[in-house]
A and B are shown apart, each in its own frame.
Chain A
């Protein structure tokens, strides 16, 4: 009986078995890459807002402190989105006739609130608390990125659990002195990074990684 398969079939089948391994690994790698891509995490995606509010202008240009608008960041889990009234503190005087600000003025007149598109959206089973992070010396820019260079707001980091755990496993490098919490351009003094991180972690009584990575620290 004649051979059905050519001798090269041996090589092909060995290759395909070997190749399948790579294929599976490759597929998994692609899936993992997709999962971390901005397509899924929506990091770096600029959102349309009812008013094209520019953090670049207000923070970078005018130097307004974060806490002027995000009033509850130091005392509550939620940093707070400014009430229309806070906008109008200035904009009843400055740019009072600007077309761009018409929705703000309308809101103030009618009592109908502005509806902002949420940029940083954690899943409902995650309970993040701004106040404790700010208190422990995690700066705004550490998670929210260079807000002073964002004309429209985008999410700077993936906000995935992997990213949270990065700090919770080793919080010291993310710390800065409390007086620079809202600073956008603070950098640790060159060469003293490690020493400062150690000192701050001790001074601010940062909990152990075991406590910080316990499930119930963030999930309830």
Chain B
């Protein structure tokens, strides 16, 4: 059986170099040369003794100061709910691109420190994503705009209000002619109402929306299919077959946290549960979604259109015939089509935003023809206040500026000077407007071009509301007063009304008061309940019947391909190796660039490429070969030297480092947006290159005919993918579903008898609790939410690109991605790796000062105040989960950041080792509460930060002494295995092998 298990993990690799060489890299020689890249140096014996003598003499001096005197400042009148030392949780909601997700915010004495998902919110179910987790750092960001300015000079808010009232007088006279409001996609009902009221008062005014990473194609696709804007929802728990056309389903589609959970529940085979679903993905660039698929097809956008059209025709939809597909694709399509036909009403085809509108329309048509509507697919009214073709809306604004029809432009958040498509020349056009007002969190690229800059309030400082993917409305309440005097969009718009000093609270409350009617007391009850719950009851939209306009789709489909993004016909894989399809994607970490100044997100290794602090032009291995591109690994471990390329598209060019990504379709190049900021702040300015410089209104997500040329230079990218090389060991395992059923049936208990192996290490007894963790690789979607949740919970510092280049990142939890198979379309598995908390821990026995010790409950405790920084423990850790503070990485000086830290976790200093603690502060809190109640801790009472954030429920923590706990049951599963079991470390963190459910009809080729 061990042999059999071994096979499950064979053939995995992490970097292309590793996949191509037979012997594990690096060999002995290069290891030693890597360790001393600059040679041993010229320290003589005398120098050495001198330094050591001085160190010894000075070593004791550090302890000679007494602790500083502290003052205690109690309240004058203590608020009733606040108990010092106990956190309070408030429900609120974060809105990104007009979509709200319900949150619970942990506050300590009025300071928000940690974001959790709201279990009663339909778009969260208790989970969060990396952006929401990191938003707490955004709140305390010292680079946020702190003053209101007019032409760069500081002005008081009252002066701005007076200026707006002046403007109002003018607008009343000319009926609002020349007034333009530019916002992102607005999902907030009350803000939408406020804007509509303003437009009613000033009929000459216009409202434009532009969301750089918005849902342009989704809307256009719905309009093409149904003749109206319609919201699509999926019921993945009912789907046996899921087909994702490009990958946002599990990374940024509306409601994706919920979808990830529904999806994951159908992926991990568990006894008694419904069967495992089968997942197909067709992708233009590798994503987390495709990485979890059973079958993945890498196609360029144009190829995808042809493929989906052919699929639609094959499934009997009346469309113009398509040119025949190349044989491998045709074979794939046939197998897929048969599977879909066998699962009418229980399959679902999802088109992601980045696919052209036609693909969306075709997906709607396929779902209808398969009878999936009202089964796995439902349609509702749009959740946006005013769904618009935003590209057209922005073009119209540009045209009006040229025509001199725009006198005043109010930009409510967003950064159009940076994010607007390059062909609109928005920066230059902006200068033509007489009065420009910008509300923004940062004094950014757009603020620099505006007369008035008003600092915006962070969402954790603001009253507002929003709607989730299913229409459920939430009221967003502030959890802290504005730190930097920021104002909300509600307050800014109010200055143009007859009630200039109206607060956002009044606006939001008045809106819902009007909507609810009834008595004041009744409303007060409703208001308090809605604030407490974080959702407004009964606001989800009911599914509605829609009629599909097949002839419109057929008309759009006829001139194939009609992506609207280029004129080149058919596949761009031409003989000219330099002409490629250019694919734009929002960055997985910093999105459209609005999170660029967030160091947590900048340092977050992106899924698959594991790049930090940069974006890159992603190319396939074959394309790289044609262009003569290569990468070279640097001495310092984290550095990968890549070659610079020039990408030229429709007359504009950028220089970018080329990153060779396994699974990227040939003949395409992917550019992530959100980098190359020039006024982001101290963290974000100057990272990466600006992808927006190439993006045009005709090529929002992709465009054909880009020219790529190799330039001379090299560029160092900081990637964590090459850290902690696996040297060909059996760390990650997958099992096909069929085999899993077999092993489930044959599961024998002896494999848990690892404890019978002899060991020289001391034995411990665990009579009380014994904490353990099980991580299900079948569920993990590599979304990174856990990594940021861990960072926020445990006060983990960021180190900067320079240190990541030296493999010194501090993340306690890393997500490794493993590839298997051919580099052009590999199978991918994610593996989150926290501390294993070994029962026979190699780190413990080598510590000379017992700074790492075994707890009575099996935790591998780290005692920072004892640590003297020998790093022996890290050297002896086979899992490489220990992190060392080579420098003073924690910021002890910036006042705002002090408020952000979790008061229950020590802030570490330089020279100290640290690692995952299983969130021991949460264990202790639960233990104390349980002991006060005189009971044992209940299963599921302790959620580690990573577990709580995980949308896919991949991480389970609990007491393994309790046979009934979820974690014990998972550990008894036949798929359960330990990393490097042969070392007899007896890790408490174990893994459940990933499960693949391949279609037997699909050829492996």
Residues on A facing B (Cβ under 8 Å): 40, 42, 72, 75-78, 80-85, 107-108, 111-118, 121, 123-125, 127, 129, 131-132, 135-136, 205, 207-208, 210-211, 214-217, 219-220
Residue contact B931 to A208, C-beta cutoff 8 Å: no
Among A114, A121, A211, A219, the residue within 8 A (CB) of B70 is A121
Q: How far is the CA of A99 from the CA of B970 in the complex (A)?
A: 68
Q: How far is the CA of A80 from the CA of B73 in the complex (A)?
A: 10
Residues on B facing A (Cβ under 8 Å): 66-67, 69-78, 83-86, 767-768, 853, 855-857, 859, 861-865, 904-907, 917, 920-921, 923-924, 928, 931-932, 934
Residue contact B86 to A116, C-beta cutoff 8 Å: no
Q: How far is the CA of A182 from the CA of B857 in the complex (A)?
A: 32
Among A81, A121, A123, A131, the residue within 8 A (CB) of B74 is A81
Q: What residue in chain B is nearest A214 (Cβ atoms)?
A: B855
In the complex, how many angstroms separate the beta carbon of B820 from the nearest chain A beta carbon? 38
Q: What residue in chain A is nearest B919 (Cβ atoms)?
A: A220
Residue contact A125 to B865, C-beta cutoff 8 Å: yes
Assuming the contacts A76-B85, A215-B855, asked whether A124 and B906 have C-beta atoms less than 8 A apart, the reply is yes
Residue contact A84 to B76, C-beta cutoff 8 Å: yes
Report 21 cross-chain contacts, Cβ distance below 8 Å, ordered by A residue: A72-B83, A72-B85, A76-B84, A77-B85, A83-B74, A111-B76, A112-B76, A113-B75, A113-B76, A116-B73, A117-B71, A118-B71, A121-B70, A123-B67, A123-B865, A125-B865, A208-B856, A214-B857, A215-B861, A216-B923, A217-B924
Contacts of B74 in A (CB 8 A): 80-84, 113-114, 116
Contacts of B78 in A (CB 8 A): 83, 85
Q: What residue in chain B is nearest A107 (Cβ atoms)?
A: B76
Residue contact B72 to A116, C-beta cutoff 8 Å: yes
Assuming the contacts A72-B84, A135-B931, asked whether A207 and B865 have C-beta atoms less than 8 A apart, the reply is no
Contacts of B855 in A (CB 8 A): 211, 214-217
Q: How far is the CA of A77 from the CA of B924 in the complex (A)?
A: 11
Residue contact A216 to B917, C-beta cutoff 8 Å: yes
Residue contact B84 to A207, C-beta cutoff 8 Å: no
Q: What residue in chain B is nearest A76 (Cβ atoms)?
A: B85
Q: How far is the CA of A210 from the CA of B865 in the complex (A)?
A: 20
Contacts of B70 in A (CB 8 A): 117-118, 121
In the complex, how many angstroms separate the beta carbon of A132 from the nearest chain B beta carbon? 5
In the complex, how many angstroms separate the beta carbon of B76 from the nearest chain A beta carbon? 4
Residue contact B67 to A121, C-beta cutoff 8 Å: yes
Q: How far is the CA of A128 from the CA of B438 in the complex (A)?
A: 48
Q: How far is the CA of A132 from the CA of B934 in the complex (A)?
A: 11
In the complex, how many angstroms separate the beta carbon of B83 from the nearest chain A beta carbon? 5
Interface-central residue, A75, A115, A214, A215, by most chain B CB under 10 Å: A215
In the complex, how many angstroms separate the beta carbon of A151 from the nearest chain B beta carbon? 19
In the complex, how many angstroms separate the beta carbon of B756 from the nearest chain A beta carbon? 23
Residue contact A220 to B921, C-beta cutoff 8 Å: yes
Q: How far is the CA of A114 from the CA of B78 in the complex (A)?
A: 13
Contacts of A72 in B (CB 8 A): 83-86
Contacts of B69 in A (CB 8 A): 117-118, 121
A-B CB proximity, top 6 nearest: A78-B85, A214-B855, A76-B85, A215-B861, A210-B856, A118-B70
Q: How far is the CA of A43 from the CA of B769 in the complex (A)?
A: 37
Q: What residue in chain A is nearest B851 (Cβ atoms)?
A: A215
Q: How far is the CA of A74 from the CA of B416 in the complex (A)?
A: 54
Contacts of B928 in A (CB 8 A): 129, 131-132
Q: What residue in chain A is nearest B82 (Cβ atoms)?
A: A72
In the complex, how many angstroms separate the beta carbon of A77 from the nearest chain B beta carbon? 4
Q: How far is the CA of A113 from the CA of B76 in the complex (A)?
A: 5
In the complex, how many angstroms separate the beta carbon of B935 from the nearest chain A beta carbon? 10
Among B72, B920, B931, the residue within 8 A (CB) of A220 is B920
Q: What residue in chain B is nearest A213 (Cβ atoms)?
A: B856
Contacts of A132 in B (CB 8 A): 928, 931-932
In the complex, how many angstroms separate the beta carbon of A161 from the nearest chain B beta carbon? 9
Among A108, A127, A205, the residue within 8 A (CB) of B76 is A108
Assuming the contacts A85-B77, A117-B69, asked whether A211 and B934 have C-beta atoms less than 8 A apart, the reply is no
Contacts of A214 in B (CB 8 A): 853, 855-857, 859, 861
User: 15 new A-B pairs (CB below 8 Å) besides A115-B71, A121-B70?
Assistant: A76-B83, A85-B76, A111-B76, A114-B74, A125-B864, A131-B928, A208-B767, A208-B856, A211-B855, A211-B856, A214-B855, A216-B859, A219-B864, A220-B917, A220-B924
Q: What residue in chain B is nearest A110 (Cβ atoms)?
A: B76
In the complex, how many angstroms separate the beta carbon of A177 from the nearest chain B beta carbon? 16
Contacts of A85 in B (CB 8 A): 75-78
Q: What residue in chain B is nearest A136 (Cβ atoms)?
A: B931
Q: How far is the CA of A119 from the CA of B906 in the complex (A)?
A: 21
Assuming the contacts A117-B69, A127-B904, A131-B932, asked whether A83 and B924 have C-beta atoms less than 8 A apart, the reply is no
Contacts of B934 in A (CB 8 A): 205
Contacts of A124 in B (CB 8 A): 906-907
Q: What residue in chain A is nearest B794 (Cβ atoms)?
A: A220
Assuming the contacts A40-B66, A219-B865, asked whether A211 and B768 have C-beta atoms less than 8 A apart, the reply is yes
Contacts of A112 in B (CB 8 A): 76
Q: How far is the CA of A219 from the CA of B923 in the complex (A)?
A: 12
Q: What residue in chain A is nearest B67 (Cβ atoms)?
A: A121
Q: What residue in chain A is nearest B63 (Cβ atoms)?
A: A35
Assuming the contacts A129-B928, A135-B932, A214-B856, asked whether A84 and B75 have C-beta atoms less than 8 A apart, the reply is yes
Contacts of B75 in A (CB 8 A): 83-85, 113
Contacts of A76 in B (CB 8 A): 83-86
In the complex, how many angstroms separate the beta carbon of B855 from the nearest chain A beta carbon? 4
In the complex, how many angstroms separate the beta carbon of B768 from the nearest chain A beta carbon? 6
Among A107, A111, A208, A220, the residue within 8 A (CB) of B904 is A220
Q: How far is the CA of A179 from the CA of B917 in the complex (A)?
A: 36
Q: What residue in chain B is nearest A109 (Cβ atoms)?
A: B76
Q: How far is the CA of A170 from the CA of B857 in the complex (A)?
A: 19
In the complex, how many angstroms separate the beta carbon of B82 from the nearest chain A beta carbon? 9
Q: How far is the CA of A82 from the CA of B85 in the complex (A)?
A: 14
Residue contact A215 to B853, C-beta cutoff 8 Å: yes
Residue contact B77 to A219, C-beta cutoff 8 Å: no
Q: What residue in chain B is nearest A210 (Cβ atoms)?
A: B856
Assuming the contacts A112-B76, A205-B934, asked whether A216 and B83 have C-beta atoms less than 8 A apart, the reply is no
Residue contact A81 to B863, C-beta cutoff 8 Å: no
Contacts of B76 in A (CB 8 A): 83-85, 107-108, 111-113
Q: How far is the CA of A184 from the CA of B859 in the complex (A)?
A: 38
Contacts of A114 in B (CB 8 A): 73-74
Assuming the contacts A123-B865, A124-B906, A211-B857, asked whether A115 and B73 have C-beta atoms less than 8 A apart, the reply is yes
In the complex, how many angstroms separate the beta carbon of A61 from the nearest chain B beta carbon? 23
Q: What residue in chain A is nearest B70 (Cβ atoms)?
A: A118
